[in-house]
Every structure is written in structure tokens, then in C-alpha cells.
Amino acid sequence: MHGTGKLNPTEEIGATRENADSTSARHSLLIINRIMDMSRPVVKSISLETLPRRQHATVAAIDWALLADPEARRLRELGFDEGVDVEVLHRATLGRGPIACRIGRMTVALRRRVAGAIHVSLAAA
């Protein structure tokens, strides 16, 4: 550690290696500590089904286990994958119909069950 109060990862790893070298006859152990950057806000993901209209978001994860094989294959063919920008354009008025969303320059209609398997994180304002 230096006078800044922050941990220097190379010093910690170097110290751990020295300790491991001195006891290598008995055990070899390497411990790596991660320091979380708490200055960045934690982004909560929501399902695409609950994303408000005209709100830009990024696909955070897709729960492939909730989808049938043909549905999962079709989503991949359409370009749905982690990191892709998406936006809900329209919902059916009765609340049970499909959701129209934009991915890239395409407009795609998804069943609500399929949209529920897609988790998105809201775009930074």
C-alpha cells in the first residue's frame, strides 16, 4: 500500500507469491483479491417485457433455458445477444399480445413469454 490508501494489486500479488515460494514445499496457494469500483452505479436488469416504451436499453442476458430450441435459434438469427441495443416500440392493447421492439434497424414482434426471457439494462441517461 502506498500513502493513497488504495491497494496496489501488483504489490499484493507479489507478496502472495513470495509467501507461496517460501512454503512451496508444503503448499502452493495464490490468493487474488478484487477491488470493486463503487464509484460506478450498480445497474439493475429488467425483462424486455417490462421495459417502458421508447426507453433505450442494452441486452444484459438471455435466459435460453426458458425458450424452445426454434425460438432460441430465431432470436440468434435476428441478432439478439448480450450487448445489443434494443427499444420497445409498441405493445398490444389487450396486454397479452406481442411486443414490437427495435434491434438495430429492424423492427421485430416478440411473444411476451419470449420477451420475458430477455433481460436488459437501462441505457445511461
Q: Using one digit for the tens of pLDDT, what is the confidence trace for 104-118? A: 889 999 999 999 999
Whole-number Cα distances in Å, 48 to 24, 54, 70, 80, 95: 51, 12, 19, 12, 14
Average pLDDT over residues 92-104: 85
**pLDDT in the model for residue 23:** 47
In this model, does residue 73 exceed pLDDT 80? yes
Q: Where in the chain is the domain with CATH 2.30.30.90?
A: 45-122
pLDDT in the model for residue 92:
84
Superfamily (CATH) of domain 45-122: Ferrous iron transport protein A (FeoA) (2.30.30.90)
Whether pTM exceeds 0.85:
no
